């Protein structure tokens, strides 16, 4: 049986947590010792070897394989892309909207993906939105829009706005019954939520290497279920999207049958090093245990804030609340500045400050966050 690190053991990989309450993993994970070592390793590779392409491509392959293991996919089902937006574009641009024009999304979708969907309207897509009902997305509202006209159904694993868990499995199952493809943006849950693409049964899933994945910006992963066919060949492409990238044939365009048909130019090599560093830490963890630990922390924070008279936008139900608590405020950036001045790092978005958790957080972080908010209220 694999021994999983305790919270204290995992926390020890993040030196800044000795004097900082870090609650911004929904934006960027805390800096780990593994990340520091990985970025130094990248610098050394240039100093020692100049342009070690085989070494760098091996690191990209290591990142791809690590992500595939993390979601229960085969390595050939994962494309390395630069952002979640790029992954969404690949999916949207390879659909033919002429016979099934409907693209179902939600008001809780992150704009980076939502705007890609809207950009399909000139190609004939009918983009329809499942409404946000006071911070909640109702399953019946999704099912009402998923019909025989739907070609693609997009459902986030967790909403960036308030940490809401969406009914992904039920929506995917309904879409499959009706012959629609499904896209899951898992960026706000990957790294702290159990994700198995075989169990989800989705056609596409995207996530990046930062946030809860503990990497840095510049790299993302697009899962494409084996056997999924493109209506239209990928139009955004590059030399890594070829059957043999190192053939260097400028007159021949061939697309492999696996997910790498969606790859383009040279990926961010420092980000690949960072992705491997983050995945190396996550591979030590039991994601079900991580999820339970975080549920207890978010419940404690939300209960204490509400007892103090605060208003939160996050679901009260543990089953619906992901790894963050969204604290309502008239001036979130002013509140965030106060928190940072007291070494509490959050992430303001819209009318809330998001306070998000990873396994490296503990009860002391909850206590410090509640106290910092209370101090702010004394003068505001």
Q: What is the mean pLDDT of the chain?
A: 96
pLDDT of residue 2: 63
Length of the chain as a residue count: 380
Residues 123 and 84 in one domain: yes
Sheet hosting strand 324-328, strand order edge to edge: 324-328, 352-356, 347-349
Instruction: Write down the pTM of the prediction.
Output: 0.96
Distance of CA 175 to the CA centre of its chain: 22
Q: pLDDT band at residue 107, thresholds of 50, 70 and 90?
A: very high
Run of H or E residues at 344: strand 344-345
Is the distance from CB of 34 to CB of 280 less than 8 angstroms?
Answer: yes
The pLDDT tens digits for 166-185 are 999 999 999 999 999 999 99
Query: Residue 362, class by beta-carbon neighbours within 10 Å (0-12 exposed, 13-18 middle, 19+ buried)?
Result: middle
The pair of three-digit structure tokens given for residue 167, joined into one six-digit string: 């009914």
For residue range 23-59, what is the model confidence (pLDDT) as tens digits?
Answer: 999 999 999 999 999 999 999 999 999 999 999 999 9
Q: Do 223 and 347 share a structural domain?
A: no
What pLDDT is recorded for position 1?
Answer: 47
Number of domains in the chain: 2
Q: Are 154 and 11 in a shared domain?
A: no
Same domain as 326, residue 264: no
Residue 353, domain CATH: 3.90.1150.10
Mean pLDDT of 137-164: 97
Give the range of the structural domain holding residue 96, as residue numbers without chain letter: 41-282
Same domain for 276 and 147, yes or no, is yes
The position carrying tokens 């009706």 is: 178
Q: Are residue 274 and residue 356 in the same domain, yes or no?
A: no
Predicted confidence (pLDDT) at residue 239 exceeds the cutoff of 70: yes
Quick one: pLDDT at residue 254?
87
Q: What is the CA radius of gyration of the chain?
A: 21
Integer Cα distance of 363 and 199 in angstroms: 32
């Amino acid at each position: 049986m694999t021994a999983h690190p305790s919270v204290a053991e995992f926390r020890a990989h993040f030196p800044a947590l000795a004097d900082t309450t870090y609650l911004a993993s929904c934006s960027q994970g805390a800096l780990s010792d593994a990340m520091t070592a990985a970025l130094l390793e990248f610098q050394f590779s240039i100093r020692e070897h100049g342009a070690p392409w085989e070494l760098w491509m091996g690191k990209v392959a290591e990142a791809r394989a690590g992500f595939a293991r993390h979601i229960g996919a085969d390595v050939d089902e994962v494309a390395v892309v630069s952002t979640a937006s790029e992954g969404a574009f690949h999916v949207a641009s390879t659909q033919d909207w002429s016979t099934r024009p409907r693209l179902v999304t939600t008001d809780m979708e992150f704009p980076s993906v939502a705007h890609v969907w809207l950009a399909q309207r000139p190609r004939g897509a009918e983009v329809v939105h499942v409404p946000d009902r006071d911070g909640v997305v109702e399953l019946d509202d999704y099912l009402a829009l998923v019909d025989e006209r739907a070609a693609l159904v997009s459902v986030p694993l967790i909403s960036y706005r308030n940490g809401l868990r969406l009914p992904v499995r039920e929506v995917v199952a309904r879409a499959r019954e009706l012959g629609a493809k499904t896209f899951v943006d898992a960026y706000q849950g990957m790294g702290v939520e159990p994700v198995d693409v075989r169990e989800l049964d989705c056609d596409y899933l995207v996530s990046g290497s930062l946030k809860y994945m503990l990497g840095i910006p510049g790299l993302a992963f697009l899962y494409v279920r084996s056997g999924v066919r493109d209506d239209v060949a990928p139009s955004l492409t590059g030399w890594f999207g070829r059957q043999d990238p190192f053939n260097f044939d400028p007159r021949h365009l061939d697309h492999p049958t696996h997910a790498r048909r969606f790859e383009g130019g040279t990926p961010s090599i420092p980000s690949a090093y960072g992705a491997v560093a983050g995945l190396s830490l996550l591979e030590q963890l039991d994601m079900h245990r991580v999820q339970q630990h975080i549920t207890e922390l978010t419940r404690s924070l939300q209960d204490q804030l509400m007892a103090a008279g605060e208003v939160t936008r996050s679901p009260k139900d543990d089953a619906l609340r992901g790894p963050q608590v969204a604290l309502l405020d008239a001036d979130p950036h002013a509140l965030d500045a106060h928190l940072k001045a007291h070494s509490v790092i959050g992430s303001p978005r819209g009318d809330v400050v998001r306070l998000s958790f990873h396994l490296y957080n503990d009860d002391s972080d909850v206590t410090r966050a509640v106290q910092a908010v209370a101090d702010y209220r004394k003068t505001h």
